[in-house]
Amino acid sequence: MLLYTFAWKKARTQSLNFVTRVARLTAIQEALKRQLERLKLENPERRVILIQFGTEVTIIGDGSQEPFQVDKDIRHSFDNLISSGQQYAQDMDIRTLGESYNVITEKINNMRPKDRTALGPALATALGMITGCQGSEVILCTDGAPNSGVGKMNSPDSSCKDYYTMVGNYAKQNGIVVSILAVDGEPVGLENVSPCANISGGNVDVLDPLEIMRQLRLISQNFIVATSVCMEFHLHPEIEVDDDDFPKGSSRIVKEVGNATRDTDVTFFFRRKNTDKDLQVDCLPFQVRVNFTMKDGRKMLRVISKSMNVTKDRAKMEEEMNVDVVGLATAQKTADLASKGKVAQARDRLTSVNRMLNKACNSDEQKEARYNFRTECAELHQDLNDRLSGSYKKTRKRSDMSSRMYSHMMQQSQSRYAGASSSQKQDIASKRRTTDENVRQQYYEYHS
């Protein structure tokens, strides 16, 4: 099930005139309609629910029933909103997109600007409506920061960021992915709101209205393949996981991934426990046990085992190094550290890996992967330097862009770091290329 929550509020500044507001709203409406058209062609059996939120939270559903508003008295309680959403879902008969497409499109055309942004209540209601439907998605489109109801910024009774962290954990536990698409313009407060997407495995983006159409398409292509994903790592007793989120000296860890999409890649760092003595082994064993639930409810276990040869020859190590994986792991970890405020530690890690790759990359494939790594991390590196040099001016809009960047880096896959000749990159490109002639025609014959 796919659920769109949509907010559009009136601008508070005089500089944004009426024509500009209408143009931005029209662009977002067009993006939503185009996305529904594509879904109807590719998966007409899918069910879509539409929710609009401003001062009030209005459930439009599939358009077959009269829209109704969430009770004002429960807008400050997450638990009550979840329960209310579950009750709404029981009372609604949601048709397939093939049946409801025309009505939902008409409802989108009739949307009008609202004056506030009850983002927190709308998100909780949406999650309640699809609780129990593992593999469902919530795509949240907003042009402003949450300022009404539970989860509003500058709330005196609770932390805004803690609320959206809790929401992310709830979504992760229930096999739901939350993505946030913010319209470029006014600040959205992504530093506080983005944890719900990062934890659940969704995307965070700040886009020009005309870019939202493309991003909605990319989200639909990167669909959920498994939920309740749990990874158990087993290392040699002389090796420990290099991660502050786990106890020092751990040779066995359990990592709760939650939801996995087709692009999900998980990395981890490890190191020797005792560097004062040589390892008395020729190879090191590694094992990962992956527990996950398929979209049809089947519970699966996959065990991956591998042994890696030990060498003291640096030249041989460099020759065999997989720069794609090193680059991806560094980008993910650096962004994670930066998002937690550990800016100096993040920059030190990024700088040290850069230096290592300058010396270690010799083959053409390694050099190409190194170039991709530098390109992907250039903006992140500059952000960290600005923060540490004192030249970082923390405005709400700048904070939004930094949060967006950190989220993107933490969700990246190995394909972004692999060279053009990499078989993995070619496989991914082939899978993403649509073979449905109706979808191709819809794309190429579109006129704005």
- Name the fold adopted by 226-310: Immunoglobulin-like (2.60.40)
pLDDT of residue 374: 95
- What predicted TM-score, i.e. pTM, was given to this entire model? 0.79
Residue numbers in the chain where pLDDT is lower than 50? 8-17, 157, 435, 447-448
The pLDDT, as a whole number, for residue 433 is 53
The CATH code that applies to domain 2-222 is: 3.40.50.410
Q: Are the CB atoms for 196 and 180 separated by under 8 Å?
A: yes
pLDDT at 35: 81
Name, in order, each residue with C-beta under 8 angstroms of 372's C-beta and a sequence gap of 6 or more. 324, 327, 416, 417, 418, 419
Token pair 């996981």 is found at 241
Q: Give strand pairing partners of 49.
A: 3
Distance of CA 187 to the CA centre of its chain: 19
Rounded distance between C-alpha atoms, residue 307 and residue 399, angstroms: 43
Residue 408 main-chain phi, psi, to 5 deg: -60, -45
Q: What share of the chain is helix, strand, coil (3-state, %, to 5)?
A: 45, 20, 35
Instruction: Give the integer Cα–Cα distance in Å for 126 and 84.
Output: 10
Q: Which residue has the tokens 């993995």?
A: 424
The letter for the amino acid at 366 is Q
Name which of 340, 319, 330, 406 is nearest 374 in CA terms: 330
Torsion of CA 242, 268, 367, 316, to 10 degrees: 60
pLDDT digits over 68-92, tens only?
889 988 989 999 999 999 998 888 8
